[in-house]
């Protein structure tokens, strides 16, 4: 498959994937005056955020202070609208800190506007397929859209694809799931609209376990619906249903993802009927915003110069090259036959940072990665993967791209102090010695 000459483009930075990480990377690089192309395989910005519309931005407030940077800017922008399109709320689940709920459509519109303002050329419905290597550099990426193949010749590649296909094909070692290859369950979400909140949330159990147990025992709910996570949506009388998890799906296999999406929809319909019939407050509600595809939590974890571990988290490690703070619990969801865990990652009142070295491969001089494909062991991964942290990882790599291009240094040889300083200047909080704790 060869691209014709008029379908070859050069750019400073190619960001692959328009999820929260790709958004952060592209805006940050664009604001540095770089020529940036953002390639997104679907028709929308957001990634998992768009696949599970209305999912709160969790983990933005380690020890109740916002992580800063782009997520703070986006949130402030949404909060300042009339009517406000975002707000900070206490999470229903005890071990999580506060989270940001928002109007999904206005948030994605605003993210797109921020990309435009940063001068990013966003190409939707376009997929990166194959890297062309020149020893330890990526020279070009073969891509395709509905008009056929095209080629991008980037000086720097930032892989924010969640699955890391390009990094893997470029030779970056990776692990799929945990030591046995088990990945977290995938999830399909929906909203119930027209819910009487007072009646629905009169009980203190965030998982509606008694109701769900009855539904499972009577064979009206799938056995994996024994815990229903239902939370107030951003808009009044809406409820976000983040409950339908499908186990054992390899998110890198599009056929498996398609089958899981259909199975998930069936279970959502089953849950919708159950809620209306059995759970107070839902009798007159209807279903809306069903995920267009399942949200995939975990596939490849790439091997970086450094791999963040559960032990690093437990020690509340604040790395000298830390680029964002985090205190999320170990949020593990139904690997193999296991259940859900929300165990604390660190002692209460403390936080850790994610090191820049977890976002760069050992060998390829012009490649970085950000978001859920970072280099982490399964325990650390279960904590670091919140959308605010993914956006911040993206922001760090976008800025690092500018430093690398200006200095002519491979990404492995960057002056990390300079990077961390620059991030602190951009309002990212709690980075090593540069910002007050
Ligand atoms: C069901 C579910 C519930 C969650 N709940 C929460 C929550 O409540 N709060 C929270 O903060 N986090 C939550 N998370 C975690 C969080 O949503 C993800 O970790 C985060 O969104 C990952 O962002 P990302 O940008 O790294 O990857 P993704 O969001 O996966 O984005 C990757 C993007 O890359 C695109 N792409 C992939 N391959 C290519 C290619 N070859 N070419 C072009 N484009 C490509 C994809 O289409 C996608 O848009 C949840 C995750 C899931 C799945």
User: To which residue do tokens 């009798």 refer?
Assistant: 283
Using CA atoms, how far apart are residues 197 and 128, in angstroms rounded to an integer?
Answer: 44
Q: How confident is the model at residue 1 (pLDDT cuts 50, 70, 90)?
A: low
Residue ranges in 174-323 assigned as alpha helix (H):
197-200, 209-217, 254-278, 310-314
Report CA(192)–ligand 1 centroid distance (Å): 23
Using CA atoms, how far apart are residues 112 and 122, in angstroms rounded to an integer?
Answer: 9
Q: By C-alpha distance, which of 153, 118, 139, 147 is closest to 22?
A: 118
pLDDT tens, residue by residue, 306-347: 999 999 999 999 999 999 999 988 888 787 777 777 877 778
Using CA atoms, how far apart are residues 55 and 91, in angstroms rounded to an integer?
Answer: 12
Peptide bond into 83 cis (omega under 30): yes
Residue 408: Cβ-neighbour burial (10 angstroms; 0-12, 13-18, 19+):
exposed
Two tokens at 39? 């390639």
Least confident of 117-131, 134-148, 280-294, 345-359: 345-359
Q: By C-alpha distance, which of 372, 374, 383, 375 is closest to 341?
A: 383
Strand partners, 161: none
Mean pLDDT of 357-377: 97
Q: How confident is the model at residue 3 (pLDDT cuts 50, 70, 90)?
A: low
Using CA atoms, how far apart are residues 211 and 226, in angstroms rounded to an integer?
Answer: 9
Evaluate if residue 435 carries a pLDDT over 70: no
Our mutation pick for probing the ligand 1 site, out of 15, 16, 17, counting the most ligand atoms within 8 A of Cβ, is: 17
Q: CB–CB of 292/361 below 8 Å?
A: no
Query: Which pLDDT does position 5 carry in this prediction?
Result: 65
- Class of 5-179+299-434 per CATH? alpha beta
Rounded to the nearest integer, the mean pLDDT of the chain is 94
Q: By C-alpha distance, which of 58, 137, 22 is closest to 329?
A: 58
Give nearest CA residue, ligand 1 atom 27. Answer: 162
Our mutation pick for probing the ligand 1 site, out of 22, 44, 90, 162, counting the most ligand atoms within 8 A of Cβ, is: 162
Q: CB–CB of 397/361 below 8 Å?
A: no
Two tokens at 398? 């976008």
- DSSP label of 413: G
Provide the 10 A C-beta neighbour count for residue 94. 9
Query: Which pLDDT does position 91 carry in this prediction?
Result: 84
- How much of the chain exceeds pLDDT 90, in percent? 86
pLDDT tens, residue by residue, 155-188: 999 999 999 999 999 999 999 988 888 889 999 9
H or E element, residue 111? helix 104-117
- Give the atom of ligand 1 at the shortest distance from the alpha carbon of 60: 11
pLDDT tens, residue by residue, 390-421: 999 999 999 999 999 999 999 999 999 999 99
Two tokens at 409? 């240094």
Mean pLDDT of 375-379: 95
Query: Which pLDDT does position 437 carry in this prediction?
Result: 45
pLDDT tens, residue by residue, 42-67: 999 999 999 999 999 998 999 989 99
Report CA(257)–ligand 1 centroid distance (Å): 14
pLDDT tens, residue by residue, 66-82: 999 999 999 999 999 99
Residues within a 6 A CB radius of ligand 1 = 16-22, 39-42, 47-49, 52, 55-59, 127-128, 160-163, 165, 187, 295-297, 371-372, 385-387, 390
3-class secondary-structure state, position 416: helix
Using CA atoms, how far apart are residues 89 and 405, in angstroms rounded to an integer?
Answer: 40
Is the full-model pTM beyond 0.85?
yes
Using CA atoms, how far apart are residues 80 and 137, in angstroms rounded to an integer?
Answer: 44
Report CA(400)–ligand 1 centroid distance (Å): 22
Percentages helix, strand, coil for the chain (3-state, rounded to 5) are 35, 25, 40
Find the length of the chain: 437
Q: Where are the domains of the chain?
A: 5-179+299-434, 186-288
User: To which residue do tokens 């604040």 refer?
Assistant: 318
Strands 322-326 and 300-302: unpaired
Give nearest CA residue, ligand 1 atom 48. Answer: 47
Using CA atoms, how far apart are residues 317 and 314, in angstroms rounded to an integer?
Answer: 8
Report CA(319)–ligand 1 centroid distance (Å): 25
Query: Which pLDDT does position 198 carry in this prediction?
Result: 97
Report CA(370)–ligand 1 centroid distance (Å): 11
Return the CA Rg of the chain. Answer: 21
pLDDT tens, residue by residue, 190-212: 999 999 999 999 988 889 999 99
């Amino acid at each position: 498959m060869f691209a014709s000459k008029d379908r070859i483009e050069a750019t400073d930075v190619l960001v692959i994937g328009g999820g929260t990480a790709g958004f952060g990377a592209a805006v940050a690089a664009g604001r540095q005056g770089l020529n940036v192309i953002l390639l997104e395989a679907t028709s929308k910005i957001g990634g998992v955020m768009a696949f599970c519309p209305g999912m709160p931005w969790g983990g933005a407030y380690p020890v109740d202070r916002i992580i800063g940077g782009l997520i703070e800017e986006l949130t402030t922008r949404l909060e300042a609208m009339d009517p406000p399109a975002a707000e900070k709320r206490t999470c229903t689940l005890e071990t999580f800190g506060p989270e940001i709920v928002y109007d999904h459509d206005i948030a994605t519109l605003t993210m797109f506007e921020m990309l435009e303002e940063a001068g990013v050329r966003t190409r939707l419905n376009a997929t990166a397929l194959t890297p062309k290597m020149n020893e330890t550099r990526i020279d070009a990426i073969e891509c395709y859209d509905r008009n056929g193949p095209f080629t991008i010749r980037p000086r720097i590649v930032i892989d924010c694809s969640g699955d890391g296909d390009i990094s893997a094909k470029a030779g970056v070692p990776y692990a799929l799931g945990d030591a046995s290859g088990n990945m977290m369950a995938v999830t399909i979400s929906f909203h119930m609209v027209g819910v009487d909140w007072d009646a629905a949330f009169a009980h203190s159990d965030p998982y509606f376990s008694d109701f769900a147990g009855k539904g499972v025992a009577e064979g009206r709910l799938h056995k994996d619906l024994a815990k229903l996570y239902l939370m107030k949506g951003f808009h009044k009388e809406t409820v976000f249903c983040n409950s339908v998890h499908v186990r054992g799906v390899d998110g890198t296999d599009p056929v498996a993802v398609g089958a899981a999406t259909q199975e998930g929809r069936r279970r959502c319909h089953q849950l919708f009927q159950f809620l209306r019939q059995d759970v107070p407050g839902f009798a007159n509600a209807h279903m809306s915003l069903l995920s267009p595809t399942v949200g995939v939590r975990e596939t490849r974890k790439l091997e970086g110069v450094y791999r963040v571990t559960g032990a690093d988290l437990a020690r509340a490690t604040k790395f000298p090259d830390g680029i964002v703070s985090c205190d999320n619990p170990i949020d593990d969801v139904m690997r193999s036959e296991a259940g859900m865990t929300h165990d604390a990652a660190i002692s209460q009142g403390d936080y850790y940072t994610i090191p820049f070295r977890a976002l760069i491969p050992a060998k390829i001089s012009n490649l970085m990665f950000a978001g859920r494909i970072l280099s982490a062991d399964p325990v650390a991964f279960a904590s670091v993967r919140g959308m605010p942290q993914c956006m911040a990882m993206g922001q760090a790599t976008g800025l690092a791209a500018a430093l690398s291009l200006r200095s002519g240094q491979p990404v492995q040889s960057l002056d990390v102090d300079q990077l961390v300083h620059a991030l602190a200047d951009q309002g990212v909080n709690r980075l090593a010695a540069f910002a007050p704790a």
